[in-house]
Amino acid sequence: MNVLVVVSHPRKNSLTFEVANRFVQGLAEAGHDYEILDLHEIGFDPVLKGVDEPDWTAAEQSYSPEVEREMQRLKEHDALAIIFPVWWWHLPAMLKGYIDRVWNNGVAYGSNHLHHQHLLWLGLAGVSQEQMKKRSYDEMITHLLNVGIADYCGISNSKVELLYETLDSKPEHYEMLLNHAYHLGLNYGK
């Protein structure tokens, strides 16, 4: 498969990017091709402006050049992985804005849907699994991502993986998280 790996974190030296690097190492060893899309590095503007707002009356719609480029990039891959920190029990604003602007009417929903075979959401949570379960945050984010976004956009094979306690700086804990990311890449799509 050719996997678009979308990474949303402002720092290249973050655990999020370390996880992304180990994930794509697993992808490559499994024989997959991939492209990493660093939303911060490309200077993606997450703010939805009028030009990119869906026009429900238009049979075909054009979008801003930035959004058109990213829509084309989506079309060039047959699978997706999205790697991000969980902030406020949700996606970072940059990633939410990317979805709002790029996964738009006529491309991801409406007259067309996304064509991707698989989608992995890989979130890094600073809290423990118990804290995430306390108020069913794990179930809510999983439902939002798998049903509210992926299924709505035509991707039925969507999976959410959460890495917990990412603020624990013990080397053995980090290595466990990175190994998990590597195995997710190695077994992607299985």
DSSP state of 77: -
Phi and psi at 11, nearest 5°, equal: -115, 125
Residue 74 to residues 78, 79, 104, 134, Cα–Cα distance (Å): 8, 9, 12, 36
pTM value is: 0.96
CB atoms within 10 A of CB 28: 13
Q: Which tens digit of pLDDT belongs to each residue from 16-68?
A: 999 999 999 999 999 999 999 999 999 999 999 999 999 888 777 899 999 99
- CATH of the domain spanning 2-186: 3.40.50.360
- Measured between alpha carbons, how far is 122 from 188 in angstroms, rounded to an integer? 12
SS3 call for 145: helix
pLDDT digits (tens, 9 = 90+) for 74-108: 999 999 999 999 999 999 999 999 999 999 999 99
**Domain boundary assignment for the chain:** 2-186
